[in-house]
Chains A and B, each alone.
Chain A
Amino acid sequence: MLVYTLKRLFLALLVAMTVSAITFSLTYLAGDPAISMAGETASDADIEYIEKLYGFDRPIVVQYFEWALNAFRGDFGESYYFRIPVADLLLERLPVSMTLGVSAISFAILLSIPLGVLAAMRPNSLLDRLALGISVVGQAMPSFWFALVLIVMFAVWYPIFPTTGSETWVHFVLPTIVLGYYATPAIMRLTRTGMLEVLGSDYIRTARAKGLPQHVILFKHALRNAVIPVVSLAAVQFGFMLGGSIVIESIFALHGAGYLAWESIGRNDLPVVQAVVLVFSLFYIVLTFLSDLLNAWLDPRIRVG
């Protein structure tokens, strides 16, 4: 297990370094940063001044290492637009994204895994059809439309939930449902398929031959094997939700980090874009690493050679 963990960790570090290099190169992919900062009417002298001021005139490798080292220490530079440290901006916006992401993935898992298990227990039953219906609707319905429907129903007709803001947990209920529901179909279908396959396997027949009660067969013997692929999928979905759907953040006026990135792209505020991209990429890497560890714990064939 230790060797496996170290191997995964090493891989994660390699990916993180690659990602950081690509993120840094964004500065130059989006055009000459000095020119875009100085503005269209700037003279050559102005541009040269800005190049010196921000260090754009130095070799690119030097710039990268300086940037990466600073980022490692939590210093992502200063926002061109807000003129405050990017780190402060992130600290303000990330909690919103985290809350939404965690609650949305929890909602998705709590809805889709039981549904998937129930559907697999009685394939082609009414319940299975219902679960299929829920997942097809979830897949087909645009989330902005679903968000509007929820707002109309639960904020306008029956004013239970607020429509905008991120002050209390109540503000997160509707966005959680919309974002979580978006991830439900894939997780549910994968759980159902996995359970169906596992329930038909020889070791489940053995468990039944041992006279074990239904709940032990389902949850001890079947589910553990069936959720192994689900773990990896849920980790990726979680990463996606942390980034937050920009659409959902805008509709509910949740000022999360995803929304910040989108705004900053429009403002050509590169330090912010880089920081958000880097932070979310690192989230993905950490999540993948954790899901690998969880899978190894679930499946001894990975853990014990």
Chain B
Amino acid sequence: MSAVLEVSGLTVDIPVPSGDLHAVRGIDFSVDKGETLCIVGESGCGKSLTSLSIMGLLPKRAKVSADRMHFVGTDLLGMKERELAAIRGNRMAMIFQEPMTSLNPAYTIGNQLMEPLIRHKNASDKEARDRAIYLLERVGITAAASRLSQYPHQLSGGLRQRVMIAMALMCDPELIIADEPTTALDVTIQAQILHLLAELRKEFNSALILITHDLGVVARVADKVAVMYAGKIVEAGTVDEIFNQPLHPYTQGLINCIPVPGKTARGSRLGSIPGIVPTLIGDIKGCSFRNRCAFAHGECDTKDPFHTLSPGRGYRCTLDVPACEANAKELVSA
């Protein structure tokens, strides 16, 4: 397996009136061909900014830096806007959270679908049209050929998101980034879209980075998981490792929040994590989760070590593995 995307030491700073907002504070991850990486975290933890920084879509005032940001062997960081534009929508594509507003109201679905192929592969109108029809059928849209002449406002949110997925697949990209692709959709549609994404990922054998706050989504589609909190990755591992042996108290808390039918008693309170995310303006000394952590102790005020257990598996905590496992048991019984 070769890495499609390798990122290390990625930071994103956004200047705000009261200083620099360190939205992403040095994160490492990689995703291989045919693999699905889920980046999980609550609103404002920096997961969307991470995906936008990979695509080079952040506003100019945001400062992005990294030790390494390699896409199939080439360095994305040193690239000019023009070179990046040649990769975007071509070898690397993105699906956004808001299907209702992500399509241009003034142009037909067909026009917008065909654009990337014409732009990047010099395709003829006929070729682009055929590919668009093929992909619309693949994403489960009926009467695909007649949809090409429809406008976004004539389609439902679920259909529009399918169009966005088809659009991302037009040039057969090596990497697809999906930023909360199901958040704006009905629950029934959510499941369909997720299923579709997983299936297409397999069929096209591309790498998929799925940004989500929903652990239910993670359990269903992920190969690897990175849990983000306050701009840092607090735990990483395979999906089995994360769900079977959550080590970071935040991961444990998130898993605890999922109600399990049959197990969670009717009428009992659902799990929650008390407190709020600390401000990301300025530096945070020690562990950024300590003010919400039931197991915080003196050391957490100054130290914030990341333990790598094996390649791709690690967690960020002052405690060792047995202590973390004991914490997990305590949280569940609480």
Binding site for B on A (CB under 8 A): 201-203, 205-213, 216, 220-221, 224-225, 298-301, 304
What residues on A are CB-neighbors of B103 within 8 Å?
Answer: 203, 206
**Looking across the interface, which residue of chain B has its beta carbon closest to that of A300?**
B151
Asked whether B167 is an interface residue with its Cβ less than 8 Å from the other chain, the reply is yes
Query: How many chain B residues touch A (Cβ–Cβ < 8 Å)?
Result: 30
A-B contact pairs, 10 of them (CB 8 A): A206-B167, A207-B104, A209-B88, A210-B119, A210-B167, A211-B119, A212-B116, A216-B119, A220-B107, A304-B153
Q: Is the CB of A210 within 8 A of B89?
A: yes
Let me know if A301 and B105 touch, CB within 8 A. yes
Output the nearest chain A residue to B97 by Cβ-Cβ distance: A202
Q: Which residues of B contact A221 (CB under 8 A)?
A: 104, 106-107
Chain A residue nearest in CB terms to B81: A214
Whether B106 and A225, one on each chain, are in contact in the complex, defined by CB atoms closer than 8 angstroms, is: yes
For residue B289, CB closer than 8 A to chain A, the reply is no
A-B CB pair tally, cutoff 8 Å = 77
Interface membership of B120, Cβ < 8 A: yes
Bound Cα distance from A209 to B102, whole angstroms: 11
| Per-residue A-contact encoding for B107-128, CB less than 8 Å = 1, 0 else | 1100000011001100000000
Partner pick for B106 among A208, A209, A211, A224, CB 8 A cutoff: A224
Would A201 and B101 be within 8 Å (CB), given that A213-B85, A301-B153 are in contact?
Answer: yes
Report if B45 contacts A (CB, 8 A). no
* Known A-B contacts A300-B153, A304-B151; A209 and B105 likewise in contact (beta carbons under 8 Å): no
Interchain CA distance A203-B86 in the complex, whole Å? 19
CA distance A300 to B98 in the complex (A): 20
Do B106 and A300 touch (CB < 8 A)? yes
Contact call B88/A206, Cβ cutoff below 8 A: no
Partner of A225, one of B57, B102, B104: B104
| In the complex with contacts A300-B153, A301-B153, A304-B151, A206-B85 CB distance below 8 A | no
Contacts A210-B89, A212-B89, A221-B107 aside, 15 further interface pairs with beta carbons under 8 A come to: A203-B101, A203-B103, A205-B57, A209-B93, A210-B167, A211-B86, A211-B88, A211-B120, A216-B119, A221-B104, A221-B106, A225-B104, A301-B151, A304-B151, A304-B153
CB–CB A225/B101 < 8 A: no
- Contacting pair B102 A203 (CB below 8 A): yes
